């Protein structure tokens, strides 16, 4: 293990470039990986979280070992998203800026394949690509991986979770057996283990974080409120943090669109990132976010994969993800480069159990926060504005021609009146909005009353309990259905996020879920003729009480059609 980059053995051109970038001491994954890759052709597995410096860990040795006189592709780097592809390319270009004759080419979907083909023809010693576009170029014989020395699988767990298993298998089968394979992942899942067993030979394994735990310099806070108050919490958090620069994670595309639209309509510097955007629209949003022209980016987990921004102050979980690993990935986007970060969860009054689960699995400790009230928010905004005014640079030459008229207009005012008008002009909006603001925090007593979940729930129109219907759907894990995607399907079909959804059971070939009875007909009718990833959807009212028993083995349960 090395203590400094200077003792790594990297060539001088690379050391000079990374020194200019401010690289001094390697991160743990870099300290263990770089010397190994410089001195060994053995396959390698690196287990480390997002933001730990994996790109430099595999990228610096790849640059060092590249023969710049040979224009053929020597290293192929595969990653899950276009954003990460471009980020890796950008980083490698910075590290190699003093290496003459070296060419790094990114290939990804959503951009002109002809342009990428031209770039490959000019010679590309290192190619960074997404699996789909890389395989397309291989089939066209434009990307030639048959003689590569190194194959890097970055964020391998994400590529598999996004459905690139078949593409990866096809690419790996087109690469030489004697190459060195490097696999980097946050987790070591069964599918990752399958790849290592099938395509890797006696790999060396380095684990920086043995468990999928969250970063130590990230604080975790949850705010417990009623579901209807989630958006109010988000607004108050943005208002009490005038310099917020963060990502808000939502479950579904529709929710992402809705929240971003509300924020923009309410005057916040926000925008959305989701799967319905064209590549040009995604590029525009990410350009503005990286340049801090946007303060808040509202995104789904899938759309946010590959975003690499180091200075995020906040990550806000508008909904907790169903997968704890997803929470770790989300929270790991803040608190980077030695800085402090804040991961916030806005939870429903009956989600206390989920907080405990995340704490246990991710190895974090949540603090219960108090949603700020109007007085606290206005005070914070006022002080932030005063600080901004006092720190503003004054250009005497530019404002001098106007000063005489300004003095004349303000002369009747006393110093005290001037300050009052000055503050009121800026803050009347906040003062009016928050003057009668209510306390939206859920007390422990309310939480205890509701801890039994659906059995304690009231209807929105009165004091009775909500009646649930149990439905069968002909989709399961085989069709890549999970609770998040099922909830998204329900919300999109009903065009609402207000539906009460009860227990969800995802099986291999089909699933069960509960929904409030008065929405059953609307949901069933709305799904008629629809498809899920190309598979026709069938939803029926189920008579079965449980998925087990006589339906064991995933046999189709008895159902009756809803009239």
Q: How far is CA 509 from the centre of its chain?
A: 29
Contact yes or no for 62/126 (Cβ under 8 A): yes
pLDDT at 463 over 70: no
Query: If you average pLDDT over residues 490-495, what whole number do you get?
Result: 85
Residues 323-372 have pLDDT tens digits of 777 788 788 888 876 678 899 999 987 777 788 888 887 788 999 999 99
Closest CA to 333 of 50, 46, 48, 30: 50
Beta bridge partners of 511: 473, 506
Q: What was the pLDDT predicted at 6?
A: 87
Residues 62-83 have pLDDT tens digits of 999 999 999 999 999 999 888 8
Q: Which residue has the tokens 């970038």?
A: 21
pTM of the model: 0.55
Q: What was the pLDDT predicted at 337?
A: 64
Contact yes or no for 313/192 (Cβ under 8 A): no
The model's confidence at residue 231, banded by pLDDT at 50, 70 and 90, is very high
pLDDT at 419 over 60: yes
The model's confidence at residue 451, banded by pLDDT at 50, 70 and 90, is very low
Q: Report which DSSP code applies to 458.
A: B
Q: What was the pLDDT predicted at 562?
A: 43
Beta bridge partners of 514: 470
Q: Report which DSSP code applies to 229.
A: G
In 149-300, alpha helices (H)? 156-161, 165-172, 190-199, 230-240, 253-265, 279-290
What sign results for the dihedral spanned by CA atoms 154, 158, 164, 169?
positive
pLDDT at 159 over 50: yes
In order of their start, the domains of the chain are: 5-207 (3.40.50.300), 218-373 (3.40.50.300), 375-434 (no CATH), 452-560 (3.30.70.330)
Among 12-16, 168-172, 187-191, 200-204, the minimum mean pLDDT is found in 187-191
What sign results for the dihedral spanned by CA atoms 168, 173, 176, 180?
positive
């Amino acid at each position: 293990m090395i203590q400094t980059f200077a003792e790594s053995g990297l060539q001088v051109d690379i050391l000079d470039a990374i020194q200019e970038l401010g690289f001094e001491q390697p991160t743990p994954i870099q300290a263990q990986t770089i010397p190994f890759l410089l001195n060994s052709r053995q396959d390698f597995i690196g287990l480390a979280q997002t933001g730990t410096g994996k790109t430099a860990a595999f990228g610096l040795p790849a640059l060092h070992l590249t023969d710049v006189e040979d224009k053929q592709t020597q290293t192929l780097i595969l990653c899950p998203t276009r954003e990460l592809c471009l980020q890796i390319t950008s980083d490698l270009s910075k590290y190699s800026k003093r290496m003459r004759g070296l060419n790094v080419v990114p290939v990804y979907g959503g951009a002109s394949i002809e342009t990428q083909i031209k770039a490959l023809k000019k010679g590309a010693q290192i190619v960074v690509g997404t699996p789909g576009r890389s395989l397309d170029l291989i089939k066209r014989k434009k990307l030639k991986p048959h003689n590569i020395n190194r194959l890097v699988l970055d964020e391998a767990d994400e590529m598999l979770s996004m459905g690139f298993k078949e593409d990866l298998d096809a690419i790996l089968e087109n690469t030489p057996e004697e190459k060195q394979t490097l696999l980097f992942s946050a987790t070591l899942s069964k599918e990752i283990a399958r790849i290592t067993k099938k395509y890797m030979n006696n790999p060396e394994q380095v684990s920086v974080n043995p468990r999928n735990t969250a970063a130590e310099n990230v604080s975790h806070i949850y705010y417990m409120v009623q579901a209807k108050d989630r958006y109010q919490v988000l607004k108050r958090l943005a208002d009490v943090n005038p310099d917020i620069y963060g990502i808000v994670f939502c479950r579904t595309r529709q929710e992402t669109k809705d929240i971003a639209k509300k924020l923009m309509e309410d005057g916040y510097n926000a925008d959305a990132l989701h799967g319905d955007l064209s590549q040009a629209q995604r590029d525009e949003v990410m350009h503005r976010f990286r340049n801090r022209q946007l303060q808040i980016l509202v995104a789904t987990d899938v759309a946010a994969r590959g975003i690499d921004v180091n200075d995020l102050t906040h990550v806000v979980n508008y909904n907790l993800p169903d997968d704890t690993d997803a929470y770790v990935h989300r929270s790991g986007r803040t608190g980077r480069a030695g800085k402090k970060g804040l991961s916030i969860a806005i939870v429903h009054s009956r989600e206390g159990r989920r907080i405990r689960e995340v704490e246990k699995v991710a190895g974090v400790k949540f603090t219960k926060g108090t949603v700020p009230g109007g007085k606290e928010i206005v005070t914070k905004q006022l002080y932030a504005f005063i600080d901004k005014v006092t720190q503003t640079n004054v250009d005497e030459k530019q404002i001098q021609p106007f000063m005489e008229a300004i003095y004349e207009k303000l002369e009747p005012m006393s110093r005290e009146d001037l300050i009052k008008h000055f503050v009121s002009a800026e803050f009347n909006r906040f003062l009016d909005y928050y003057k009668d603001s209510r306390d939206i925090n859920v007390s422990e007593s309310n939480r205890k009353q509701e801890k039994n979940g659906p059995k304690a729930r009231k209807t929105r129109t009165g004091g009775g309990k909500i009646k649930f219907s149990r439905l069968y759907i002909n989709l399961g894990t085989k069709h890549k259905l999970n609770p998040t995607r099922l909830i998204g399907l329900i919300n999109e079909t009903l065009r609402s996020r207000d539906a009460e959804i009860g227990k969800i059971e995802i099986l291999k070939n089909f699933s069960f879920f509960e929904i409030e009875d008065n929405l059953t007909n609307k949901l069933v009718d709305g799904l008629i003729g629809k498809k899920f990833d190309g598979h026709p959807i069938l939803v029926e009212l189920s008579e079965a009480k449980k998925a087990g028993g006589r339906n064991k083995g995933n046999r189709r349960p008895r159902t009756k059609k809803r009239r």
